[in-house]
């Protein structure tokens, strides 16, 4: 390989850079594409959106040009953010976002869903899925909280590893799919809560809270890692030998491909001002250990590296290390034999059985947080339904659906119901009245509410992504606050459905609310799953994978919440709902706790525990059992409690214990 060919393999370009209209919509500008392939020898591309047939034709054409017209004929490695389903394919199945999914605490349903994603992604020639997010979601302001598996490192690592295993080992023969552990490291707890702003993370917290989920993903065999765009302790991670080389490569032993996040080497100059010019930033990132640069819309990366080699500041041997990893990855993914999409296999995209798995995923994940008895709804009760997600597929599917911020309503699949349609199907159209959008507390609304038995409001957040979701206040906006207050003045039983990417403050409304369910962004199966839970044909079993704050100014993950000491001396702002909160329609009784020991004396000691879980209700149900330990004394402050194991008892029958 020539040096140019090697450096082309280390460059990743956005498809929007070589399409006719400069967007993701898969209309190839063949001249621009040939320039990328023949002049710049680019070996990898990312991101597009459209119907599956368009994907098949587009990927077939770009691979054909790359393989048949370039000197070496190396196939392209194509990346996509299928973070909650085949979410950039019009016919794809949309799953709940990770924060919702993690509330299922059900590794099996999560693995099943991830296998569907693999089967709807790999046959299109999309061989690299930029998922799962393994960041620990411990800051409720952070606009990417919904992409995480919540605040607990063990939950993030366990569920993230299930994704890795399913993506990389699902039966998508002959196509391979690489997962991508992102975003390494310390991205999810910016001090300001705003995306890509500085994080201050002491080493102890790094090792105890941020690294474990990545360590578990590496153990699961994740083939690639994407770097955190932010900075930790004043150091942009993209240029950090400590975080990337010393920790990820040396300490954790990762020898797979390390990819930058989008345009992040340039951002070390433009955003972090860590380097005076692009060349110095490139040198720092190569010395740190990155292999491929997601430059997205320019080709300067290769030229700058050639200069660094000519100046003796960089060796070609270092370049060979990265190129070897990249070619090895292409080989592992079977790309040299099977680079072209298979039109036939893509027939399963959007299959009915995939919808059923998405619906089950949602049903297992939705959390019933409060129920004063108004749920389940009684047969033929009249329901008034309103709110921004009441009749919107866009809101239920959330961000990263056909477009980065979520596509407009008309692009979403119509063969899956909106919440209103699911209500009509399940409760009877004559029993459901849909409120106006935007909500208007006019004479009609008052009349409709008066004749209803129960009011159901969807509240929360319209979809957003990354920095677009930065906020300074977790309170609900004025319009939704007004809507809830106006409805509450009518005195009807009220159900709040929280459709959001993070916990918005609902304390002011709680007293006059009969039931609250956290739905997050529940995807295609969300409407039917929610309706079945409200109607009582499904027994909710979700539990919060994060702490739900009661006040805008106070939040803390469960493992560092106020301790008894603070409890006695001040009015702590106890959370609205604790980590692990969630109820069903069947109360469970825990009895006969058995532990082989109550003291852990040394590191490899194993403690065996058992408990009986009895269903005291009148419905079959499922119960997640959470096991915590506590290190009572530590010269470095120890967590108040720490999740060490969780399991979901799949079917706790009435007579079973
Ligand atoms: C984005 C995100 C990252 C995503 C990448 C490619 O900026 O940070 O999660 O995989 O760009 O779309």
The atom of ligand 1 lying closest to the CA of 180 is 10
48, 22 Cβ separation under 8 angstroms:
no
Orientation of helix 211-219 relative to helix 153-169, angle to 10°: 30
Predicted confidence (pLDDT) per residue in 177-233, tens digit: 999 999 999 999 999 999 999 999 999 999 999 999 999 999 999 999 999 999 999
Residue with CA at minimum distance from ligand 1 atom 12: 81
Orientation of helix 316-332 relative to helix 278-288, angle to 10°: 60
Question: How many A from CA of 81 to the centre of ligand 1?
Answer: 7
Question: How many A from CA of 263 to the centre of ligand 1?
Answer: 10
- Partners of 497 in the beta sheet? 458, 517
| pTM assigned to the model | 0.97
DSSP state of 586: S
The atom of ligand 1 lying closest to the CA of 182 is 9
Instruction: Please state whether the peptide bond connecting residue 185 to the residue before it is cis, i.e. omega within 30 degrees of 0.
Output: yes
Asked if residue 655 has pLDDT above 70, the reply is no
Question: How many A from CA of 536 to the centre of ligand 1?
Answer: 39
Can you give the three-state secondary structure of 465-487, one letter per residue? CHHHHCCCCCECCHHHHHHHHHH
Q: How much is the pLDDT for 656? A: 43
Pocket test for ligand 1, best of 15, 44, 81 (most atoms within 8 A of CB): 81
Q: Which pair of structure tokens corresponds to residue 319? A: 């370049």
SS3 of 443, please?
A: helix
Residues 196-201: contacts with CB within 8 Å, 24+ apart?
A: 196/229, 196/230, 196/271, 196/466, 196/467, 197/230, 198/230, 198/231, 198/232, 198/234, 199/230, 199/231, 199/232, 199/233, 200/232, 200/233, 201/232, 201/233
What's the rounded mean pLDDT across residues 384-408? 98
The atom of ligand 1 lying closest to the CA of 147 is 9
Ligand 1, residues at Cβ distance < 6 Å: 46-47, 81, 130, 182, 229, 261-262
Give me the helices (H) in 70-140, please. Answer: 98-102, 107-121
Predicted confidence (pLDDT) per residue in 619-631, tens digit: 999 999 999 998 8
Predicted confidence (pLDDT) per residue in 562-619, tens digit: 555 665 555 556 899 999 999 999 999 999 999 999 888 888 999 999 999 999 999 9
Where does residue 609 rank: exposed (0-12), middle (13-18), buried (19+ CB within 10 A)? middle
Closest C-alpha to 349, from 48, 50, 116: 116
598, 612 Cβ separation under 8 angstroms:
no
Distance between CA atoms of residues 220 and 638, nearest Å? 28
- Partners of 434 in the beta sheet? 385
Residue with CA at minimum distance from ligand 1 atom 10: 130
Pocket test for ligand 1, best of 130, 184, 257 (most atoms within 8 A of CB): 130
Predicted confidence (pLDDT) per residue in 525-537, tens digit: 999 999 999 999 9
Question: How many A from CA of 80 to the centre of ligand 1?
Answer: 9
Question: How many A from CA of 261 to the centre of ligand 1?
Answer: 6
Asked if residue 560 has pLDDT above 90, the reply is no
The catalytic site residues sit at 261
The atom of ligand 1 lying closest to the CA of 47 is 12
């Amino acid at each position: 390989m020539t040096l140019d060919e090697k450096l082309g393999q280390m460059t990743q370009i956005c498809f929007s850079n070589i399409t006719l209209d400069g967007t993701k919509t898969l209309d190839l500008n063949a001249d621009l594409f040939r320039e990328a392939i023949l002049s710049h020898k680019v070996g990898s591309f990312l991101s597009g959106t459209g119907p599956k047939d368009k994907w098949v034709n587009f990927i077939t054409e770009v691979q054909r040009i790359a393989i048949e017209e370039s000197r070496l004929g190396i196939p392209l490695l194509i990346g996509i953010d299928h973070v909650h389903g085949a979410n950039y394919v019009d016919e794809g199945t949309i799953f709940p976002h990770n924060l919702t999914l993690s509330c299922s605490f059900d590794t099996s349903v999560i693995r099943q869903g991830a296998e569907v994603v693999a089967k709807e992604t790999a046959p299109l020639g999309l061989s690299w899925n930029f998922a799962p997010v393994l960041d620990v979601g411990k800051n409720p302001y952070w606009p990417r909280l919904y992409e995480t598996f919540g605040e607990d490192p063990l939950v993030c690592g366990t569920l993230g590893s299930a994704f890795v295993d399913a993506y990389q080992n699902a039966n998508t023969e002959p196509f391979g799919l690489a997962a991508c552990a992102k975003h390494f490291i310390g991205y999810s707890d910016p001090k300001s809560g705003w995306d890509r702003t500085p994080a201050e993370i002491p080493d102890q917290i790094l090792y105890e809270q941020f690294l474990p989920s990545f360590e578990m993903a590496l153990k699961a065999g994740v083939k690639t890692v994407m770097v955190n765009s932010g900075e930790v302790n004043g150091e942009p991670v993209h240029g950090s030998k400590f975080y990337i080389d010393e920790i990820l490569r040396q300490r954790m032993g990762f020898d797979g491909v390390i990819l930058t996040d989008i345009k992040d080497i340039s951002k070390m100059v433009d955003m972090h001002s860590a380097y005076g010019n692009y060349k110095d930033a490139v040198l720092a990132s190569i010395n740190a250990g990155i292999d491929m640069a997601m430059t997205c819309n320019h080709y300067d990366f290769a030229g700058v590296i050639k200069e660094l080699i000519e100046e003796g500041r960089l060796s070609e041997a270092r370049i060979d290390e990265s190129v070897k990893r990249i070619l090895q990855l292409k080989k592992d993914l079977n790309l040299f034999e099977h680079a072209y999409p298979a039109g036939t296999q893509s027939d399963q995209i959007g299959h009915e059985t995939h919808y059923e798995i998405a619906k089950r995923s949602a049903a297992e994940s939705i959390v019933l947080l409060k129920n004063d008895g108004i749920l389940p709804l009684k047969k033929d009760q009249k329901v008034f339904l309103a709110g921004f997600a009441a009749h919107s597929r866009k809101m239920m599917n959330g961000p990263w659906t056909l477009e980065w911020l979520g596509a407009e309503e008309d692009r979403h699949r119509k063969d899956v119901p909106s919440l209103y349609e699911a209500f009509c199907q399940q409760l009877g159209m004559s029993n459901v009245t849909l409120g106006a959008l935007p909500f208007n507390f006019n004479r009609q609304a008052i009349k409709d509410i008066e004749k209803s038995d129960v009011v159901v409001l969807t509240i929360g957040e319209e979809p957003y992504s990354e920095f677009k979701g930065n906020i300074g206040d977790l309170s609900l906006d004025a319009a939704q606050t007004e809507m809830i207050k106006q409805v509450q003045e009518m005195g009807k039983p009220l159900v709040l459905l929280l459709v959001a990417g993070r916990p918005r403050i609902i304390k002011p409304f709680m007293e006059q609310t009969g039931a609250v369910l956290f739905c997050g962004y529940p995807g295609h199966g969300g409407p039917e799953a929610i309706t079945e839970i409200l109607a009582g044909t499904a027994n909710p079993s979700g539990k919060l994978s994060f702490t739900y704050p009661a006040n805008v100014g106070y939040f803390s993950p469960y493992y560092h919440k106020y301790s008894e000491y603070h409890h006695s001396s001040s009015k702590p702002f106890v959370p609205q709902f604790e980590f692990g909160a969630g109820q069903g329609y069947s109360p469970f009784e825990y009895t006969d706790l058995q532990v082989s020991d109550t003291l852990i004396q040394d590191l490899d000691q194993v403690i065996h525990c058992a408990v009986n879980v009895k269903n005291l209700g009148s419905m079959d149900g499922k119960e997640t059992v959470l096991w915590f330990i506590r290190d009572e004394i530590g010269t470095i402050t120890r967590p108040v409690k720490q999740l060490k194991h969780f399991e979901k008892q799949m079917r706790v029958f009435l007579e079973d214990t």
